[in-house]
Homo-oligomer: A and B are copies of this chain.
Amino acid sequence: MSYTLEQIADHKTTASCWVIIRNKVYDVTGFLFDHPGGAQVILRYGGRDATAAYEPVHPSDALDKNLPPEAHLGNLSDSAVQELKEAKQNVTKTREELRVEEARNNKPPLSRMINVQDIEDVAKSILPYKAYAYYASAADDEITHIENARGFGRFFFHPRVMRPVSGCNTSTTMLGYKSSIPVYISGAALARLGHPEGEANLTRGAYKTGIIQMISTNASLSYGQIAAARGSPDQPIFFQIYKHKNDETAAKRIREVESLGYKAIFLTVDALIPANRELDHRSPHYLEDFENQGRSAKRTEDAEEGDVDILGTAGGLIINNDVDMTWERTIPWIRSVTKLPIVIKGIQCVADAVLACEAGVEGIVISNHGGRQLEYALPPIEVLYKIRKERPDVFDKTEVYIDGAIRRGTDVLKALCLGATAVGLGRAFLYAQSAYGEAGVVKMVRILQREIRFGMESLGVRTVKQLVPEMVERVDWQPVSAKL
Q: Is A285 an interface residue (CB 8 A)?
A: yes
B-contacting residues, A353-389, CB 8 Å: 355, 368, 373-378, 382
B-contacting residues, A125-147, CB 8 Å: 140-143, 145-147
Q: Is A410 an interface residue (CB 8 A)?
A: yes
Given A111-B304, A270-B458, A482-B142: A477 touches B154 (CB 8 Å cut-off): yes
Given A141-B481, A305-B443: A276 touches B162 (CB 8 Å cut-off): no
Q: Is A479 an interface residue (CB 8 A)?
A: yes
Given A273-B457, A308-B443: A158 touches B378 (CB 8 Å cut-off): yes
For A414, give the chain B residue with the smallest CB separation. B376
- Nearest CB on B from A374, distance (A): 4
A101 to B166, CA, bound (A): 45
Q: Is A287 an interface residue (CB 8 A)?
A: no
Q: Is A351 an interface residue (CB 8 A)?
A: yes
- Write out the residue numbers on chain B whose beta carbons fall within 8 Å of the beta carbon of A146: 479-482
- Write out the residue numbers on chain B whose beta carbons fall within 8 Å of the beta carbon of A330: 162
Q: Are B285 and A112 in contact (CB under 8 A)?
A: yes
Given A273-B457, A375-B408, A454-B275: A348 touches B142 (CB 8 Å cut-off): no
Q: Are B473 and A162 in contact (CB under 8 A)?
A: no
Q: Are A308 and B450 in contact (CB under 8 A)?
A: yes
The 8 A CB mask of A269-307 against B (1 = contact, 0 = none) is 110110110100110010000000000100111111111
Q: Is A228 an interface residue (CB 8 A)?
A: no
For A112, give the chain B residue with the smallest CB separation. B285
- Nearest CB on B from A462, distance (A): 10
Given A306-B442, A443-B308, A482-B141: A161 touches B346 (CB 8 Å cut-off): yes
For A161, give the chain B residue with the smallest CB separation. B269
Q: Are A482 and B143 in contact (CB under 8 A)?
A: yes
Q: Is A150 an interface residue (CB 8 A)?
A: yes
Q: Are A446 and B164 in contact (CB under 8 A)?
A: no
Q: Is A262 an interface residue (CB 8 A)?
A: no
Q: Which of A16-24, A231-239, A321-329 touches B?
A: A321-329
- Write out the residue numbers on chain B whose beta carbons fall within 8 Å of the beta carbon of A308: 114, 443, 446-447, 449-450
A205 to B269, CA, bound (A): 36
- Write out the residue numbers on chain B whose beta carbons fall within 8 Å of the beta carbon of A473: 378
Q: Which of A1-9, A102-110, A246-254 touches B?
A: A102-110
Q: Is A349 an interface residue (CB 8 A)?
A: yes
Q: Are A143 and B147 in contact (CB under 8 A)?
A: no
Q: Are A443 and B378 in contact (CB under 8 A)?
A: no
- Write out the residue numbers on chain B whose beta carbons fall within 8 Å of the beta carbon of A225: none
A168 to B108, CA, bound (A): 49
B306, B326, B373, B451: the one contacting A163 at CB < 8 Å is: B326
- Nearest CB on B from A261, distance (A): 27
Q: Are A378 and B111 in contact (CB under 8 A)?
A: no
Q: Are B158 and A348 in contact (CB under 8 A)?
A: yes
- Nearest CB on B from A251, distance (A): 18
- Nearest CB on B from A382, distance (A): 8
- Nearest CB on B from A443, distance (A): 6
- Write out the residue numbers on chain B whose beta carbons fall within 8 Å of the beta carbon of A145: 482
| Most B Cβ at <10 Å: residue of A155, A443, A476, A477 | A477
- Write out the residue numbers on chain B whose beta carbons fall within 8 Å of the beta carbon of A373: 458
Q: Are B110 and A439 in contact (CB under 8 A)?
A: no
Given A114-B282, A157-B374, A408-B375: A479 touches B147 (CB 8 Å cut-off): yes
B159, B352, B483: the one contacting A141 at CB < 8 Å is: B483
B-contacting residues, A150-202, CB 8 Å: 150, 153-166
- Nearest CB on B from A322, distance (A): 9
- Write out the residue numbers on chain B whose beta carbons fall within 8 Å of the beta carbon of A282: 112, 114
Q: Are B442 and A323 in contact (CB under 8 A)?
A: no
Q: Is A25 an interface residue (CB 8 A)?
A: no
Given A115-B140, A141-B482, A308-B443: A301 touches B378 (CB 8 Å cut-off): no
- Write out the residue numbers on chain B whose beta carbons fall within 8 Å of the beta carbon of A451: 140, 276
Q: Is A467 an interface residue (CB 8 A)?
A: no
- Write out the residue numbers on chain B whose beta carbons fall within 8 Å of the beta carbon of A470: 351
- Nearest CB on B from A417, distance (A): 11
Q: Are A162 and B325 in contact (CB under 8 A)?
A: yes
- Write out the residue numbers on chain B whose beta carbons fall within 8 Å of the beta carbon of A147: 479-480
- Write out the residue numbers on chain B whose beta carbons fall within 8 Å of the beta carbon of A300: 109
Please name 21 pairs of A and B residues whose Cβ atoms are closer than 8 Å in the assembled complex, sorted by A.
Answer: A112-B299, A141-B481, A142-B481, A142-B483, A143-B482, A150-B477, A150-B480, A154-B477, A158-B349, A159-B349, A159-B374, A160-B351, A161-B348, A162-B325, A165-B273, A165-B323, A276-B451, A306-B442, A308-B443, A308-B449, A476-B476
